[in-house]
Structure 1
Amino acid sequence: MSFYFLTALREQNPTAAITIITRTIYKDLFEYLPLDLKVIEVGRSTNSYWHRLLEIFSLRSFFPDPPDIYYALPPSLSSAITGWFIGAKKRIGMRGQSYYLRALFLNQLTKQLDPDRTSSHRAYEYLALLNWPRRSLPVITLKKQQLWADLAAGTGTQTIVININSEASSRRMPSEQWLSLLEIFKQSAYRILLIGSAKEEKHVQCLLDLLPKNHNFTIENHAGKTSIARLVEILSQASLMISNDSGPAHLSAILGTPTIVFFGAGDTNSTAPLNPKNAQIHIFSDHNLACAPCLKNNCKFASDNNQHLACLKNISMEDVARKIREFLLR
């Protein structure tokens, strides 16, 4: 979602020096934006409050001259503190978590989006920080597209990418449903690629271990073996991406790949994958539940098997199968 913000920021400031602070796992993504960005990475290997403070302190050395403007995109207290600590003269952010504390570190806080805005999606919230005058999103252009065309050349087989991972357990569809979904591809000629980071490799392998040994489809485990650059190449050539609510789902949508996403705890109005130029994005969720969307990292019904992850368990695999056929036959 920050891609739209950064594209608009560069459009408004064609000659400015723009530096972004991002987590290490996302760093390589920004190489695909032709926006002349300087990228500073922070590890965030732990959620420890003290670890975050140490990271913020370390950022000071990257800014010998205080920035003129700092935008705090995450609605967190730590993102507000960062702008203050590096000495930014103007510090802009949304009202978010710990609002009154954030107000101590930011000197310009935006209110809710104007009534004439068409969406409360996070991408529009970010653009509101720039007083973006248009109702449409800026057009994202990615570099190195000429390198992607040869990825699947000559294979003659449609590739389906599946991502069963997400950082929060409340956003991960249970394995039983993924197994039901994979049944859809029995005796098909599709090439199925499972993706994931190194830390998600074990989770992906656990699902593969549950498959019957005589399954009749081609499935490959690429978890832990795929760089960001390779992921971009794979998704750009895929016939379909099927994913939990996660970063790869957003990337797939931006690349224009037909994308099916399963939403659990997340708010689809705020953080669903977004690309007005990609008509083939479909979100599955059950937000008719009283607890949905809960926005929690862990389902509060962990001890109740009937209600645990009901927002994901209630998704009909028959409906998913119909949407898969629709996307693949277009």
Structure 2
Amino acid sequence: VLETFPDSQVDIILKSGFETLPIPHRGEIILFDKNKDSAGKFGKSLRHKNYDCFYVLPPSFSSAWMAFQSKIPKRIGYAGEYRSFLLTSAKKHEIRPGSQHLLKEYLGLLSNDLDMGNYAPRLEVKHDWVKEQLDSCAFKIPEKFVVFTPGAIYGPSKQWPVEHFRELGKQLHKAFGYTILLLGTIDDVESGTKIAHNNDWIHNYCGKTTLAQLLAILTKAQLLVGNDSGSMHLMAALQRPQIAVFGSTSPTWTGPINANA
């Protein structure tokens, strides 16, 4: 979008909480908190900004409803979920949804000729920002370490069994002497406790970092091993070594775009 409209202001709508990440942008970051505003109400709040075009990336009905309520003249997204009438340009999928990478689908809203390899997600992570985040952590990271992220939304169907993480941790420590850091949300604390049990080289920091701190830690890790989750995509955006474990979801659709994966 930035290349297509080089002279235009391009604002981004983010879910509240993601604004702490160093996301490259040109324009304003507008936060949407679903706990405070409905999609329709939030859309109405955009009317006074006089936008010309709204690219609707999520495939949900509510996202298209948000765009419709904004009354922005051009509302572009994919058809489906009974939302075509809400969009001024409801594009049909040329191939079955999920049979190509999600990034390719997004790029298709602009042009089918765009090469996905040229537009892999990136994060602008600077040394001072990383240092600030690490200094704010409640713990100090070791010089060399591997990160495990055992959690994933939608539960066990997307999660590698904790026993496998535990065994892999033992093997990595035996072979390379690595310390293992377990990272995730408060919901992952129990899994982390099971993985770390009786292994003093495994440290369970699930629920003890902010999203920004987690990203900063990933910039220093030798490797990330995790499920199809947000941390997987963060490591991919850093282009650092990672192993992504897929269960019920498809790597064809949401796999990391990372030459080091």
TM category, shorter? 0.7 to 0.9
Aligned AA (2:151) = N
- 1:259 matched to 2:242? The reply is yes
Distance 1:63 1:11, change over 3 A: same
* Contiguous gaps of at least 5 residues in structure 2: 136-140
1:138-153 alignment, distance < 5 Å: 138=119, 142-147=123-128
Counterpart among 106, 113, 136 of residue 87 in structure 2: 106
Q: 1:209: how far off?
A: 4.3
CA distance in 1, matches of 2:64, 2:120: 28
CA distance in 2, matches of 1:266, 1:32: 26
Q: 1:20: how far off?
A: 2.0
Counterpart among 75, 84, 90 of residue 68 in structure 2: 84
Counterpart among 196, 201, 207 of residue 192 in structure 2: 207
CA contact (8 A) 2:43 2:68 kept: no
CA contact (8 A) 1:171 1:266 kept: yes
TM-score (norm 1): 0.67
TM-score (norm 2): 0.83
Q: 1:255: how far off?
A: 0.5
CA contact (8 A) 2:158 2:246 kept: yes
Q: Please name the residue that 1:173 is paired with.
A: 160
Aligned AA (1:196) = G
CA contact (8 A) 2:39 2:65 kept: no
1:233-272 alignment, distance < 5 Å: 233-272=216-255
- Structure 2 SS opposite 1:32: coil
Counterpart among 144, 160, 184 of residue 171 in structure 2: 184
Q: 1:109: how far off?
A: 1.8
Aligned AA (1:180) = E
Q: Please name the residue that 2:15 is paired with.
A: 23
1:3-56, CA deviations, whole angstroms, 9 ceiling, x for partnerless residues? xxxxxx112212212222222232323x331x22322222345xxxxx87x343
Q: 1:219: how far off?
A: 2.2
1:112-123 alignment, distance < 5 Å: 112-113=93-94, 120-123=100-103
CA contact (8 A) 1:161 1:242 kept: yes
Q: 1:156: how far off?
A: 7.7
